[in-house]
Chains A and B, each alone.
Chain A
Amino acid sequence: MKARIPLTVLAAGLMSVAGYAALFIAPDERTMHEIQRIFYFHLGCWSAMFTALTITFVANIGWLLTRRPQWDWLSVSGAEVGVASCTAGLITGVLWGKPAWGIWWTWDARLTTCFVLWLLYVSYLILRGLIEDPGRRATLSAVFGIFAFLDAPLVYVSNRLWRTQHPAPVLLGGANSGLDPTMGKVLMISVSAMLAMMLIVLADRYRLERLRHELDELRVAGETQPRELVSALAKAPRN
């Protein structure tokens, strides 16, 4: 964990550059003007969320197959950071929606999918809080996590099918069509800044989970082992 401080400084630097670039370097958007600049942050939130939730999904499978507690620590960290990124993405989306579309919210496929994902992963975290036994908590929440992840494409497809049959009120304007090269570069910087920040928060959350686990072990040891052994364990060097 020695790399933590330099990595944090790097991510903070990247965030500052991304913020500056999004506000001052990126060219003005033709129809939406200044409000479009939230997009650089907004898309970053979604990339962070999808990465974090994919990490959770992989960690869920990893726990079920190997039973190494590290996978469980990773899955809870991924889910928490994913929910946080999702919340930021939803809020920036709502803030952008009002001036750009004239409405705060529309039940468009993407918005609905992300909202349902948010609900699913908040439920995942609630579920984890309600099961006492650590092993059982890890296994049962992993099964639910896999269900939740499998559900996401179905939610998207169903909403897509539904909304294209009725005339959709507003759809996200073609971000991929004719994107200005400077905009593309700024976008890349902001997305990598958000990803870097997400990964650092995730690593810290993982560390917290590991320390909690060690503390629990010491507590159990304190109830069953002689005092000298426990203090020796507590002083033992760790990486």
Chain B
Amino acid sequence: MSTARAAAILLEKELRLEFRTRELLNATIIFALVVVVLFSFSFDPTSAESRRIGPGLLWIAFLFSGSLMLHPSFGREQANQTLDALRMAPISPFALLLGKMLANFLFLSAAEIVLVPVFAVLYNVSVLAVAGRFAVVLILGTLGLCATGTVLSAIAAHARMRELLLPLLLLPILTPLLIAAVEATASLLAPQPGLERGWLALLAGFDIVFLTASWLLSDFLLEE
């Protein structure tokens, strides 16, 4: 079976699992909302101040909720040893990883689609005029977050204290992604919106480096 086909089947399995309960998506959206609301108490949310702090706030909310949301990706497979069953399937380990990455990407993107308008309303920033370019930043950023996060979720699933371990491993790795995504978002929310290519290139570079590394290391990551 080709890697793409196997990944598509696994993606379907993840989506079906999620839409039966919808617990992961609901909890992620509400958690990110809690972060966004709590941040409003830490500074004076006027329009100018929101433009300055808003991008960082938004991405910190995505990173935190992502690092919590990614844990069940492999953690959930531990309960009934279903990961062993998946490993026994005649598919490449990368297909398994890719299916989960794509599922996490879709979940986090869905959460972002809900959160960005809420954020725009609460903090009085206009995103509609730059929606297309903002979507590119969101897609590149979310892709990098989910690619690294899924791999680290597979690592953390085998350790003790795994819920705490995943953010600990993931958040420092995401430093370059956070900087690039925040700066790109800030340039879009500025009074004269513009998007600097350097940040997009850095985001794309991050995605390429870690997707390639995941592909090369997936055999080791998922071996028994």
Contact = CB atoms under 8 A, between A and B. Distances in A.
Nearest to B179: A158
Interface residues of A, number: 30
A155 B168 contact: no
B180 interface: yes
Contact of B176 (A64, A119, A133, A155): A155
Given A116-B172, A123-B169, A143 B159 contact: no
Contact of B168 (A123, A139, A161): A123
A136 B179 CA distance: 33
Given A140-B221, A144-B152, A144-B169, A161 B202 contact: yes
Interface string B155-196: 110111110010011001101100110010000000000000
Given A150-B213, A154-B206, A144 B175 contact: no
Contacts of B64: none
Nearest to A139: B220
Given A147-B148, A150-B209, A130 B159 contact: yes
Interface in A124-174: 126-127, 130-133, 136, 139-140, 142-144, 146-148, 150-151, 154-155, 157-159, 161-162, 165
B191 to A, nearest CB: 17
B196 to A, nearest CB: 8
A187 interface: no
Contacts, number: 82
B44 interface: no
Contacts of A196: none
Contact of B205 (A116, A144, A154): A154
Q: For the complex, would chain B's binding face be called helix, strand, loop or mixed by DSSP majority? A: helix
A14 interface: no
B34 interface: no
A120 interface: yes
Nearest to B221: A143
A130 B217 contact: no
B212 to A, nearest CB: 9
A114 to B, nearest CB: 12
B11 interface: no
B209 A139 contact: no
Contact of B173 (A131, A133, A151): A151
Nearest to A140: B155
22 contacts: A116-B172, A120-B172, A120-B173, A127-B159, A130-B159, A130-B162, A132-B160, A133-B158, A139-B223, A140-B159, A142-B220, A143-B155, A144-B155, A147-B151, A148-B172, A151-B172, A151-B173, A154-B205, A158-B175, A158-B176, A159-B179, A161-B199
Interface of B: 148, 151-152, 155-156, 158-162, 165, 168-169, 172-173, 175-176, 179-180, 183, 198-199, 202, 205-206, 209-210, 213, 217, 220-221, 223
Given A127-B155, A131-B159, A148-B172, 8 more contacts: A130-B162, A133-B158, A142-B220, A143-B155, A147-B173, A147-B213, A150-B209, A161-B202
